């Protein structure tokens, strides 16, 4: 059996995963405008039913978001995010007390309400840039924390297959070196702010301000991100850069390409794969892990 790694997501809860067998984080968008499934779960009853389905299909973490982070998305107030997510989280926590719940937000008020409702992870695509009160809250609560690299806020971003020119990140134009350095520096800053190292996970932010080629380069060299020593959370699920590989214009039709990407990233040693199609990802990841065990 491969060695296990750990991510502390609460003072009394630690998640474990084996190398090559990452945890699965289900995407639950309680929004009307998600790029992939906008409106599908924009109702507490449907959201809770989908959460139960994801758990049954093998999701270890449920990531609930009340604000779309798709390119061009408009900001949603903290009050509206709370109205969309808090009751859903509370209902899921009551129905599935063993489930690990995450709130996808950049706002401290939203995170606080979610943690009060039963979430134990804050998934922050801004890495603390959007709200100065978020890091002190995470430090005080001792919850899990995901910080992600993004080059632009969603309202200023473009889909990765729509850049006229590749975004520039460094003088040598090596997106992987830039992302690694940025994530390392930001994680260290979070530690200095009082967030425990054991609670921090990092996300290279596939699709967030990167071109198609840059996304594939990050995937190909993902081991460099893993080598930073923090649990790595990744998501290629249904993103626009996969259109270049699959030819599918509809996000939901990219599930096969999403699974193929997840399998490659699992081989690189990531901790968590975030996905829409939980059943498909879980089955493929489990088969790959079992086959790898047979050959070792």
Domain boundaries defined on the chain: 21-294
Selecting among 150, 238, 254, 274, the annotated active-site residue is 274
In this prediction, residue 160 carries a pLDDT of: 66
pTM greater than the 0.95 cutoff? no
The residue-averaged pLDDT of 35-53 equals: 77
pLDDT tens readout for residues 164-221:
667 777 656 799 999 999 999 999 999 999 999 999 999 999 988 888 899 999 999 9
Report the CATH architecture of 21-294.
Answer: Alpha-Beta Barrel (3.20)
Helices marked H in 58-206 — which ranges?
A: 78-95, 108-117, 134-141, 175-192
287 flagged as catalytic = no
What confidence category does residue 41 fall into, taking pLDDT thresholds of 50, 70 and 90? Answer: low
Cα(190)–Cα(166) distance, integer angstroms: 29
Selecting among 70, 112, 221, 239, the annotated active-site residue is 239
Is the pLDDT higher at 134 or at 156? 134
The residue-averaged pLDDT of 248-264 equals: 94
Bridge partner residues of 15 (DSSP): 7
pLDDT tens readout for residues 1-26:
356 799 999 999 999 999 999 999 99
What's the distance, Cα to Cα, between the start and end of the chain in Å? 9
239 flagged as catalytic = yes
CA distances from 127 to 164, 180, 218, 228, 248 (A): 27, 14, 19, 16, 31
Q: What are phi and psi of 23, to 5 degrees?
A: -70, 155
The residue-averaged pLDDT of 90-115 equals: 97
In this prediction, residue 127 carries a pLDDT of: 97
């Amino acid at each position: 059996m491969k060695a296990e790694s750990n991510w502390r997501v609460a003072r009394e809860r630690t998640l474990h995963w084996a190398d090559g067998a990452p945890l699965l984080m289900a995407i639950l968008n309680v929004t009307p405008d998600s790029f992939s499934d906008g409106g599908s779960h924009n109702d507490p009853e449907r959201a809770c039913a989908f959460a139960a389905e994801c758990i049954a299909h093998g999701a270890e973490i449920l990531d609930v978001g009340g604000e779309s982070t798709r390119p061009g998305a408009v900001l949603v107030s903290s009050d509206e995010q709370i109205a969309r997510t808090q009751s859903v989280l509370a209902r899921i926590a009551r129905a599935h007390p063993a489930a690990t719940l995450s709130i996808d937000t950049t706002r401290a008020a939203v995170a606080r309400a979610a943690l009060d409702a039963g979430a134990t992870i804050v998934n922050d695509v801004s890495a603390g840039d959007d709200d100065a009160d978020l890091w002190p809250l995470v430090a005080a609560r001792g919850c899990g924390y995901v910080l992600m690299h993004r080059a632009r806020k969603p309202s200023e971003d473009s889909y990765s297959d729509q850049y006229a020119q590749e975004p520039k990140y460094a003088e040598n134009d090596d997106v992987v070196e830039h992302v690694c350095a940025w994530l390392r520096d930001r994680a260290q800053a979070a530690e200095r702010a009082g967030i425990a190292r054991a609670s921090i996970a990092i996300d290279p932010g596939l699709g967030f301000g990167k071109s198609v080629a840059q996304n594939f380069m990050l995937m190909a060299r993902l081991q460099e991100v893993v080598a930073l020593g923090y649990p790595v959370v990744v998501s290629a699920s249904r993103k626009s850069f996969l259109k270049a590989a699959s030819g599918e214009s509809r996000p939901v039709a990219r599930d096969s390409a999403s699974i193929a990407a997840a399998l490659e990233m699992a081989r690189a040693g990531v901790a968590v794969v975030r996905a829409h199609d939980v059943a498909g990802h879980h089955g493929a990841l489990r088969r790959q892990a079992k086959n790898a065990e047979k050959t070792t």
